[in-house]
Amino acid sequence: MLTGNEQASTLRVSSLGSGSKGNATLVHFEETIIIVDSGFSCKTLEQRLNLRGISPEQITAMLVTHEHSDHFNGVPTFANKHQVPVWMSNGTSFHPKAEKIKQLNCFNSHFPFTLGNIQITPVLVPHDSREACQFVFDAGKKCLGILTDIGHITPFVASKFQECDILLLEFNHDINLLQNGRYPASLKQRVGGALGHLNNEQSAELLQTLNQEKLRYLVAMHLSEENNCRSLVNETAKKYISDMTEFFIADQESGFDWINI
Ligand SMILES: [Zn+2]
Ligand SMILES: [Zn+2]
């Protein structure tokens, strides 16, 4: 059992929903609570925060990975209503969608920065957007990685996610389900392309390079409801993680509940 103080100093993470219909992730350490992305309406985000025992007044900042609607569209209204500062890369900030945000701040994608008590390392990723970044969070000697919306794993990206205690990793699609599925050819090309989303095998490839001794939790994120299935993801991921690593799959409606790292 953790004492009150230890509990307060535990880095923890929860998803409020994950997938192409909307994403939002909470990162909490001591008095700092960051919302990473929101593709949900203001009302839905408020409701889902409430389910996790968090009120909008507690939010330190919102952090945006890129301008796609499933990550961005809910950010301006919530941030303005609750007077929350928003952080994103310069490239993302030049998108017209960012104009409405009152407290807009930019980080330099090449350097770590801090929000409250959490250090954040942006990691530039190949994705069909202006300056997409994913993130590594360090707090309380623990390390959390969030890596979704990336078309392929580069050596640079792999190097940045080596030492995570917990990794939230995209398992977007199965190649065969995508190829034989109902998407039009252009969308198949986009999703499966080098600037699209990770397929299960690509995610597995990254897993093989990680420090398995450190990795206590792996969560599969951003699954396509159309072109993937949980049993395939489960099977693929479990091949490449040790018995010591707990594995979960985040879903579109409920994400996953708090994980204390
Ligand atoms: Zn997305
Ligand atoms: Zn995207």
Name residue, tokens 């890369």. Answer: 89
For residue 240, give Cα distances in angstroms to 52, 146, 154, 204, 228. 31, 18, 19, 7, 18
Residue 22 Cα to ligand 2 midpoint, Å, equals 10
Question: What is the structure's pLDDT at 7?
Answer: 55
What does the pLDDT look like over 162-201, one tens digit per residue? Answer: 999 999 999 999 999 999 999 999 999 999 999 999 999 9
Percent above pLDDT 90 for the chain:
97
Residue 127 Cα to ligand 2 midpoint, Å, equals 7
Q: Assign 246 to helix, strand or coil.
A: strand
φ/ψ of residue 15, rounded to 5: -105, 140
Q: Give yes or no for residue 6 having a pLDDT over 70.
A: no
Residue 100 Cα to ligand 1 midpoint, Å, equals 21
Q: Give yes or no for residue 232 having a pLDDT over 90.
A: yes
Contacts of 191 (CB under 8 A, 6+ apart): 172, 173, 178, 183, 197, 224, 227
Residue 66 Cα to ligand 1 midpoint, Å, equals 9
Nearest ligand to residue 127 Cα: 2
Triad 76, 79, 83: Cα angle to 5°: 140
Distance CA 29, CA 225 (A): 32
Alpha-carbon Rg for the chain in angstroms: 17
In this prediction the pTM is: 0.96
In the CATH hierarchy, which fold is given to the domain comprising 4-254? Metallo-beta-lactamase; Chain A (3.60.15)
Distance CA 15, CA 10 (A): 17
Question: What is the structure's pLDDT at 136?
Answer: 98
Q: Give yes or no for residue 35 having a pLDDT over 60.
A: yes
Q: Give yes or no for residue 3 having a pLDDT over 50.
A: no
CB 95 within 8 A of CB 69: no
Q: Give yes or no for residue 108 having a pLDDT over 80.
A: yes
Encoded amino acid at 69, one letter? S
What does the pLDDT look like over 115-129, one tens digit per residue? Answer: 999 999 999 999 999
What does the pLDDT look like over 67-91, one tens digit per residue? Answer: 999 999 999 999 999 999 999 999 9
What does the pLDDT look like over 150-160, one tens digit per residue? Answer: 999 999 999 99
User: What 8-state DSSP symbol labels residue 80?
Assistant: H
Nearest ligand to residue 39 Cα: 1
Contacts of 33 (CB under 8 A, 6+ apart): 26, 27, 54, 58, 59, 60
Q: Where are the domains of the chain?
A: 4-254
Encoded amino acid at 8, one letter? A
